[in-house]
Structure 1
């Protein structure tokens, strides 16, 4: 049976993107402002939330399985967000659970996780090839002779043949089809979800300014540095943060907390969203955050050019 496939998949939940919208011209469908951090000088055009925060074939194999898992969280989000806006997120323990899961979902279902996964697979594959060539050179030569009729000489030929064997392996085929990625991301979501269950939830509002949201929005942070450091491993982080609207940000913490943060800290957290973005951040069209986004995007470009 062919695995079900959903091509266009939202990495940023539409229910979150809608929080950053306003009615379009003449009362048309709601719009937000995407900002392209790759091209900060480009004129940015408003779009509807359905056109933002998505990727094609992010989970390419049996994507319906992953969508069902994400949906187990997202279908419960509207009521929890309504409680956040009402200032009563802790009135119902189930709201805390779903909001915490929402943070974890956006930490795992991300361009960042896919990049880490892809890099890790490449590193492991290269290590396997080196190990096989180092430990089994004669077996490789015999197998090459059996398959191709060629007598391999020199290490380059051995590496090339070993690479071909790895590419033809069942694991490599699973990587190429996307099956391994689906298994990996679902497993990681469940693992981080279980680990985060011991954390409580902070619901933070700005004393001034607004939050924006990036296309890698669930971000690990440490606040003991200036500027804040971000995107470290889950176990090394002080928190995972997730903006859920211009006026609210969720953070995993040591206790359930309703609090406010100064405008300077809001700017720091917005800058983290911009620096961690794959390509876009999204903001309310009247937020006035384009200047901050442009400056942080140029900072990001300069940092990457120096590396």
Structure 2
């Protein structure tokens, strides 16, 4: 029996089926269904149109058993796909359908570049702390047994503080090779998925549609996001943990947006609310936003670009695909 591969290099951050639902006829592609992309790394470039398969992919988001994760994601996406078909035909959604859509939003909240970056940063910080503790020990009371162990294992004399730092660095490299961050993250994402599903299980989902027939929602390479109130201000804070947020939001199509919230939301989104939701999506995006070609949303791109500059964070380099 042929063994299945354990790794898929190019992994979609946003489901291809969701990207499909944001497409429209593209003149450059002779009427084929495409997405118009805004790349915040190069906002002044002419916006290109892409097929959904080429969009919102991230190279090596997971490197340990990424195929196993894709199978888990696939089960969620299949269940949600059945619910979306019923939504498109006007059928009433069942409790199973609503649960599948909740799971889809949770999946996208976890499966995004920010999760990997946060995990990597936390892992590196923990490793630095442990290394500092080990270094302090071998520079202090543990110096003699450490140097004796190095001499016995490598046949080398440890030459002062620099020598001890060198061998502690080597120990860290061996430890990271034996238990890399990728393995830890593979387990972390499954735990996050389970915990986040539990956090939103009691929330009543709602699907918003734009009031104006010309308005559409955009999606991005970090499609699901959370918002929270900032004191008494009407402004919203983006990116709180899903269990603490006022609402979890995910566009599930150009004309449909899913909201998970304990607070009431209107079922029909006014033009102002659509523009606000698209702005929040653009602010939360890792680097790229996708929308219907030639959509009304494009008028707000200059506003999005300036708003992202106010975050005082450089636009990332690493997403490898459109």
TM > 0.5 between the two?
Answer: yes
Shift of 1:293: 2.2
Q: Is residue 201–residue 256 contact of structure 1 (8 Å, CA) maintained in 2?
A: no
Aligned position for 1:218: 224
Distance 1:23 1:305 in 2: 34
> What does 1:98-177 align with in structure 2 at a 5 Å threshold?
98-137=100-139, 138=143, 139-148=145-154, 149-154=156-161, 157-169=163-175, 172-175=177-180
> Which of 294-303 and 51-60 deviates more?
294-303
> Which of 32-41 and 135-144 deviates more?
135-144
Deviation track 1:144-197 (CA, whole Å, cap 9, x = no partner) reads 44444132423x55444323212211x554326x32222221222122122322
Aligned position for 1:57: 60
What 5-or-longer segments of structure 1 have no aligned partner?
none
Distance 1:305 1:133 in 2: 33
Structure 1 133/227 Cα, relative in aligned 2: closer, same or farther at 3 Å? Answer: same
Match of 1:204 among 208, 229, 232: 208
Aligned position for 2:188: 184
Distance 1:79 1:27 in 2: 30
Structure 1 215/130 Cα, relative in aligned 2: closer, same or farther at 3 Å? Answer: same
Shift of 1:239: 1.7
Pairing 1:48–2:12 present: no
Aligned position for 1:234: 242
Deviation track 1:248-268 (CA, whole Å, cap 9, x = no partner) reads 111211279771233222222
Q: Is residue 129–residue 159 contact of structure 1 (8 Å, CA) maintained in 2?
A: no
Q: Is residue 225–residue 249 contact of structure 2 (8 Å, CA) maintained in 1?
A: yes
What is the SS of the residue equivalent to 1:285?
Answer: coil
> Which of 125-134 and 141-150 deviates more?
141-150
> What does 1:260-271 align with in structure 2 at a 5 Å threshold?
260-271=268-279
Distance 2:34 2:48 in 1: 10
Structure (1/2) with the larger helix percentage: 1
RMSD: 2.6
Distance 1:86 1:223 in 2: 35
Shift of 1:61: 2.1
Distance 2:263 2:303 in 1: 34
What 5-or-longer segments of structure 2 have no aligned partner?
315-322
Shift of 1:2: 8.3
Structure 1 72/258 Cα, relative in aligned 2: closer, same or farther at 3 Å? Answer: farther
